[in-house]
C-alpha cells in the first residue's frame, strides 16, 4: 500500500523508499522519516516533540514541521505567510482531518485549519511509487467574508535526516553557458536560489540534490527534488543552529502577493522529490523515467532528426533560401525542417514584427503553404518558430494595443532585444494570441513549433489588475500555460519545443506542454558537453534537442560535433550550402547511425561514466531497458601530454550476460565490462561512438 496509516501517522511508500510524518504531542504535523523503505510500519520513528528547556530554544523552532507557517515563536524559514484583513500576520494551523484518494497515483490530503480565522490549508501528497518520487502541493481556501493576502506560499518543505555536513548540488549559469553543476556545503544559515525573471531562467534551475558529501555517480544516498513551475521560484535550503536541514521550494515570495477573496482557493505548483541510495545516477534516472512516462505530452514518440535554419540564414529567410537548404537536408536523412525567426510580417531584423504572426508578404508572397508543400514533398515534416509572449514596439500589435504590455504607466518601458513582454495574465491578450496561432496552425501543415522567449521582465506592472497587481508573477505564467495548452488541445499532433534564448525555460511544468527543449544557444560541441551533462541530471535525453552547427569547426571534426549532438535528440543547424559534398555524405552516415540507435538514447537508461565538467576525457553510456543493447560515447577535449586516462567502467549491463563492444576484441560478461572496464585511446578533440550488443 503506498499510503499507510496507523496511530503514529502516515507512511508513504514507493518501490524503494518511504516518507513518514505524524502529529506530535503538541498537535503539530511533524516529519518523521525519509529514506530507504523499512520492513514494518513500527520501524518508522514517532513524530518528535520538544518541550521548552531554555527560553531561546523554542519548541516551534526545534520541531521539523511538514509545513511551518509564519507565526508563534518560529524562527525557521516558514512555508506560508499571510495577512488577515484585521492586520494579524500570525497563522496557527491545527490538524483537522485527512483523506486518501486511491488511483494510479494515490493521494493523501491533510486538512489543516487556522484556530481562529476561517482559513483552510490542505497539504497534498501524491505517491509515484514506481519512480520513488513523492509529489507535494498545497491548496488554501478563504472560508470567511474578508480577503486574506497571501505573501508567501511554498509547495513543500523537505526535511533531511539529522546530519552535520550536507552538501547541496544545483546548477548555475547564464545565457550561452547554462547548467553548470555546483556543489557546496550547507552550513548554518540559509542558501537561497531563485528566479525573479518571470521565467525559470538560465541562471539557476528549481532542482536540488543533497548528500552527505560521500555520494558518487553510482553510489551513496542522495535526496533530490524540483519544482514544476516556469515563473519566479525560490529554493531556500536551511540548516538551523539545532542541526536540522530542510529544503523549501515554491513560488518566489519576492514582490509577490495574492488577494484571496472570500470563497477563493489558491493552489501552488507541485514539487517532486525522491531519495536514491544509488547515487546521483539513480536519482536522475528516476526523474528521466518519470518525465518520459508521465509528464511529456507525446510520451513514447521517437523524436525526429530535425534541421533548423537559424544559424544558416538568420533573419534572411525566404522561400528560395529555405528550399535550397531543405533539399540538402532531405538528402542527408533529415525528417523535420524547421523555419526559425524572420518569417513573419515586417521581420527583417530584431527591431520589428513580434506580435504580427502572419507570413511576411515580401518574403513569402504565397504564404507558407508553398514552402511547406515542397518540404513535405521532400519527405520531411515542417516546423516553425514563434515567440508569442513578445511584442516589438514596431509592430501592428503594439500600435493597436500599447496597453497590453507589462508596464508601469509612469515609467519608461525597458526594451531588451528591442522587445517588450505581453501581459499573458490578461484574458484579452490570451485570446488574441490563441486566435493568431490557431489560425497559423489551422491554415498550414505544421508538425512542430519552437516557442521562444528572448528576454526577461522589467517594470512588472499591471495597471487595472483585477486583484493585487503583484499577482502578475503567477497570472502571467498561468496565462502562458492556458494559451499553450489550448493550442495543444486544438492541435494535438503538433510537437512543441520550449526555448528561451536557449535553456532559459527548462522545467517540469513546461515539459507538460513541450516535448523537447532547446538547451542552449551555445552550439559549440565542446562547450555543449558540459551543458548537456548538467541538463542530464534533471531531464531525459529525448527532451534535449542538440544541433550540429558550424560553431567550432576549426578545431572540432564533424564526427565530434555529431557525436555530441547524438547524445540527445539530434538536429542539424549548420549552413548546408557551405558544407562540401563529402561533409554532407558524412552527415548522412551519422544521421543513419543515429536512427539505428536513437531508441536506446531516447528511451534507455543513461549512465554518466566520466564527467565532462570534471575531466577532459569524458564518457556517457545509454542502455536499453531490456539491457540487450547499448551505446557508448567518449570525448576528449584538450589534455596536456602525457595524458594518462584510466579505463571506462560500463554500467547498467546484465552482469550474467555476454556483451560485445564495437571495435573491441572479445566477448565478455556484463560483470567484466563493468568491473575490468575498457580502455579507449583518443587524441585531443577526438571522439568515438561504440555500440554494445548482448550476444
Ligand atoms: C533564440 C533561440 O535560442 C535561437 O535558437 C533562435 O531561435 C533565435 N532566438 C531567433 O531569434
Handedness of CA 176, 291, 154, 489 (dihedral sign): positive
Q: Is 184 helix (H, G, I), strand (E, B) or coil?
A: strand
Confidence of residue 595 (pLDDT cuts 50, 70, 90): very high
Q: Is the CB of 177 under 6 A from ligand 1?
A: no
Active-site amino acid positions? 452, 521
Q: Is the CB of 616 under 6 A from ligand 1?
A: no
Given a cut of 90, is residue 356 above it in pLDDT?
A: yes
Average of per-residue pLDDT across 254-269: 98
Given a cut of 80, is residue 643 above it in pLDDT?
A: no
Residue 498 and residue 505 in contact, taking contact as beta carbons nearer than 8 Å? yes
Q: Which residue owns the Cα nearest ligand 1 atom 5?
A: 521
* Predicted local confidence at residue 174, as pLDDT: 97
Residue 661 and residue 690 in contact, taking contact as beta carbons nearer than 8 Å? yes
Instruction: Catalogue all structural domains in the chain, each as residue range(s) with its CATH number.
Output: 69-295 (2.70.98.60), 306-387+439-454+484-604 (3.20.20.70), 609-694 (2.60.40.1180)
Confidence of residue 300 (pLDDT cuts 50, 70, 90): confident
Q: Is the CB of 456 under 6 A from ligand 1?
A: no
Handedness of CA 531, 532, 534, 538 (dihedral sign): positive
Q: Is the CB of 454 under 6 A from ligand 1?
A: yes
Report CA(454)–ligand 1 centroid distance (Å): 8
Give the residue, out of 175, 199, 310, 455, with the most ligand 1 atoms within 8 A of its beta carbon, to mutate for a pocket test: 310
Residues listed for the chain: 695
Rounded Cα gap, residues 70 and 387, in angstroms: 40
Given a cut of 80, is residue 96 above it in pLDDT?
A: yes
Average of per-residue pLDDT across 625-654: 95
Q: What cell numbers appear for 149 in the block?
A: 493576502
Confidence of residue 357 (pLDDT cuts 50, 70, 90): very high
Residues paired with residue 174 on neighbouring β-strands, in sequence order: 177
Q: Which residue owns the Cα nearest ligand 1 atom 11?
A: 341
Phi–psi pair at 39, nearest 5 degrees: -65, -35
Rounded Cα gap, residues 316 and 496, in angstroms: 24
Average of per-residue pLDDT across 135-139: 98
Q: What cell numbers appear for 559 in the block?
A: 564526427
Site of grid cell 506560499: 153
Confidence of residue 35 (pLDDT cuts 50, 70, 90): very high
Given a cut of 90, is residue 641 above it in pLDDT?
A: no
Q: What is the mean pLDDT of the chain?
A: 97
pLDDT tens digits, residue range 199-212? 999 999 999 999 99
Given a cut of 90, is residue 316 above it in pLDDT?
A: yes
Q: Which residue owns the Cα nearest ligand 1 atom 2?
A: 501
| Model pTM score | 0.98
Ligand 1, closest atom to CA 385?
Answer: 7
Amino acid at each position: 500500500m503506498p499510503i499507510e496509516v496507523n496511530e503514529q501517522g502516515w507512511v508513504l511508500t514507493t518501490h524503494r523508499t518511504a516518507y513518514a510524518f505524524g502529529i506530535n504531542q503538541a498537535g503539530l504535523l511533524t516529519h518523521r522519516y525519509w529514506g530507504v523503505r523499512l520492513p514494518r510500519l513500527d520501524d518508522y520513528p514517532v513524530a518528535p516533540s520538544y518541550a521548552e528547556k531554555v527560553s531561546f530554544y523554542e519548541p516551534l523552532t526545534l520541531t521539523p514541521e511538514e509545513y511551518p507557517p509564519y507565526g508563534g515563536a518560529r524562527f525557521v524559514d516558514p512555508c506560508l505567510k499571510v495577512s488577515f484583513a484585521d492586520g494579524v500576520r500570525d497563522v496557527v494551523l491545527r490538524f483537522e482531518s485527512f483523506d486518501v484518494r486511491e488511483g494510479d497515483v494515490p493521494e493523501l490530503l491533510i486538512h489543516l485549519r487556522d484556530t481562529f480565522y476561517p482559513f483552510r490549508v490542505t497539504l497534498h501528497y501524491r505517491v509515484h511509487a514506481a519512480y520513488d518520487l513523492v509529489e507535494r502541493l498545497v491548496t488554501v481556501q478563504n472560508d470567511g467574508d474578508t480577503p486574506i493576502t497571501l505573501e508567501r506560499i511554498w509547495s513543500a518543505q523537505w526535511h533531511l535526516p539529522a546530519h552535520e555536513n550536507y552538501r547541496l548540488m544545483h546548477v548555475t549559469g547564464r545565457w550561452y553557458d547554462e547548467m553548470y553543476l555546483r556543489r557546496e556545503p550547507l552550513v548554518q544559515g540559509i542558501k537561497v536560489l531563485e528566479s525573479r525573471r518571470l521565467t525559470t531562467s538560465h541562471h539557476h534551475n528549481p532542482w536540488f540534490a543533497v548528500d552527505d558529501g560521500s555520494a558518487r555517480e553510482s553510489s551513496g544516498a542522495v535526496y533530490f527534488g524540483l519544482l514544476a513551475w516556469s515563473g519566479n521560484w525560490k529554493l531556500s535550503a536551511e540548516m538551523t543552529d539545532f542541526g536540522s536541514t530542510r529544503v523549501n521550494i515554491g513560488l518566489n515570495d519576492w514582490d509577490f502577493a495574492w488577494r484571496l477573496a472570500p470563497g477563493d482557493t489558491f493552489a501552488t505548483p507541485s514539487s517532486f522529490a525522491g531519495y536514491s541510495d544509488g547515487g546521483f545516477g539513480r536519482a536522475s534516472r528516476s526523474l528521466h523515467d518519470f518525465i518520459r512516462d508521465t509528464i511529456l505530452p507525446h510520451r513514447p514518440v521517437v523524436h525526429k532528426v530535425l534541421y533548423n535554419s537559424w544559424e544558416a540564414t538568420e533573419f534572411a529567410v525566404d522561400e528560395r533560401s529555405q528550399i535550397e537548404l531543405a533539399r540538402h537536408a532531405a538528402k542527408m536523412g533529415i525528417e523535420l525542417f524547421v523555419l526559425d525567426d524572420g518569417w513573419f510580417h515586417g521581420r527583417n531584423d530584431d527591431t520589428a514584427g513580434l506580435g504580427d504572426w502572419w507570413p511576411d508578404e515580401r518574403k513569402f508572397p504565397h504564404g507558407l503553404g508553398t514552402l511547406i508543400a515542397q518540404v513535405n514533398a521532400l519527405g520531411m515534416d515542417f516546423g516553425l518558430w514563434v515567440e508569442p509572449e513578445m511584442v516589438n514596439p514596431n509592430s501592428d500589435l503594439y500600435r493597436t494595443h500599447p496597453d497590453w504590455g507589462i508596464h508601469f504607466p509612469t515609467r519608461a518601458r525597458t526594451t531588451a532585444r528591442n522587445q517588450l513582454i505581453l501581459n499573458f495574465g490578461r484574458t484579452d491578450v490570451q485570446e488574441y494570441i490563441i486566435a493568431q496561432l490557431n489560425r497559423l496552425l489551422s491554415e498550414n501543415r505544421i508538425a512542430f513549433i519552437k516557442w521562444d522567449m528572448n528576454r526577461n521582465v522589467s517594470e512588472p506592472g499591471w495597471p487595472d489588475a483585477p486583484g493585487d497587481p503583484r499577482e502578475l508573477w503567477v497570472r502571467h505564467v498561468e496565462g502562458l500555460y492556458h494559451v499553450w495548452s489550448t493550442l495543444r488541445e486544438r492541435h494535438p499532433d503538433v510537437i512543441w519545443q520550449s526555448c528561451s534564448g536557449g535553456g532559459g525555460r527548462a522545467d517540469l511544468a513546461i515539459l507538460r506542454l513541450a516535448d523537447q527543449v532547446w538547451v542552449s544557444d551555445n552550439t559549440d560541441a565542446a562547450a555543449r558537453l558540459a551543458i548537456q551533462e548538467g541538463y542530464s541530471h534533471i531531464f531525459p535525453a529525448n527532451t534535449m534537442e542538440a544541433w550540429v552547427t558550424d560553431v567550432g569547426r576549426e578545431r572540432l571534426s564533424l564526427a565530434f560535433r555529431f557525436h555530441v549532438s547524438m547524445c540527445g535528440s539530434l538536429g542539424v543547424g549548420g549552413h548546408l550550402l557551405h558544407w562540401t559534398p563529402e561533409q554532407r555524405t558524412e552527415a548522412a552516415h551519422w544521421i543513419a547511425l543515429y536512427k539505428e540507435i536513437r531508441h536506446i538514447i531516447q528511451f534507455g537508461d543513461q549512465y554518466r561514466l566520466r564527467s565532462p565538467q570534471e575531466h577532459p576525457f569524458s564518457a556517457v553510456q545509454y542502455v536499453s531497458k531490456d539491457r540487450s543493447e547499448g551505446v557508448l560515447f567518449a570525448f576528449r577535449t584538450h589534455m596536456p601530454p602525457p595524458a594518462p586516462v584510466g579505463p571506462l567502467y560500463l554500467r547498467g549491463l546484465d552482469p550474467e550476460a555476454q556483451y560485445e563492444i564495437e571495435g573491441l576484441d572479445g566477448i565478455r560478461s556484463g560483470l567484466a565490462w563493468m568491473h575490468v572496464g575498457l580502455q579507449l585511446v583518443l587524441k585531443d578533440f577526438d571522439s568515438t561512438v561504440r555500440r554494445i550488443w548482448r550476444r
